[in-house]
Structure 1
């Protein structure tokens, strides 16, 4: 077996669905695209993307000693239709990726295990990354042959669809690169057409300021009124552009890591229950979930928007207590919701 074959076998053993290799300088166009995207202000309030843009633009900008990149993907393909709750206004919709254990911990644990094994068996220096570091995982994964970036900008695989968490191992070892994957979207425009807020402004072009995932997770202030009705009952993220992709017919839920199976209380939560949460109850409910990061106030804001869209008059009694919330963003969302329910 080659060293690359050994790494692939170990990756499968650790729960990864795909593994590929690329040179550290394999995706120079990604840095150019990032700079243009930031220059147009399409990142919204995500100032952290500006702060380390040059490190993010290239693996060598982050770690000059890197010679090769090992790109890895872990499946979280759902067993049920992510759009099934769209007509249930009394329930909140949470993005599939956030319904189970925090993927950062699961993927990083596997990456560290792979890194330890690699260092012990083949030497070299290495660093592991999953999402929280300034690394452009999607272009690197495409360069390593794991798939291509679809028109929704997410990585897309013929074998696993687009339900993939990505991780990267940078190493000082010289590894044989894989050929980049070919693009197979063709004339399909389903993801662009499915976006509720027209955030995908063209193939491979996304304006985060319009994206429901950005608005419900990254954006801290009031959600612009022009997008509120389109948010529907989504209270954390949005799966619409992912869910409609035809390549998902090849993604099997059985291939997903069991850590990502949905927790019962997060699969179809009642808005009335969530609107009762104080800070302590919020932390307890979302312990071990990536949702905990946004904090109680942002979640309540999101639930109030969903309540306002619900057409469920019974939710009025759950909304009213938030009119006097000390957070003005929450109080304003409560006023908006009550006006809608009336």
Structure 2
């Protein structure tokens, strides 16, 4: 979901879209807020709705009103009550659980400031338990910890829960969530996350989920470049790309980019490389995550020997007309790989 930073800070829109589903019981069970209906969030909210009780309520918000309208319409005939609302504050108001899936740290800060100013604190008397906020955005751990502190001060619970699996995993409900929170909080958030994914991995205290996600994606960025270079090297010496990939994948070079997301076209039929690098994990997103990982390493005093070269490669590839907007494995093309 690509939006300007100040757009997420101007979060009041006109014209709420709402629908009330028939329920055999007037009792309210749980209320959920979902903020951020980009490629990932849209599918996650859809899966969440499908697992909720018919008496539960799901309140949806995105600055893209068309996405809110489309999802509200899709979910209008069955299952939990669904409402498209006009602000992030309204999405959070009365909610027992709030899920946020946002593009950048600045958006997370802006949205939670709006929630705390106009949502969480406005209805304390109606709450029987502390509201739980689950941020699935990929941002830096320091920003996440700062937001968590303000949420805790206001009387809520905040956890970082970045995910792995991409749009395919979000659609299939097979995401892996990397959780950063006290162990005592896990029972309250794990069922919610399992409505949208397959695995929940507790990584440590608040911020640890993001640290794990950024470490993983840094390694993924490096493995992707190495695989692209290795495939190009072998192919230019006359090796059949499928033969070369098979050798790598039964040898010590095996990694996710070599086996599942091979950057050489035709090696893995289901990989983006075999459909002109369409879909998958966008190169701009990898550039963003790599930047966050480098910033996190700088804060922690961790040396990343390959970071500068990798960052330069993804920066230039993301601006290359032949690569822009495509899966991050398109660095193979940018490096002059045989296609």
TM-score by length of 2: 0.31
TM-score (norm: length of structure 1): 0.31
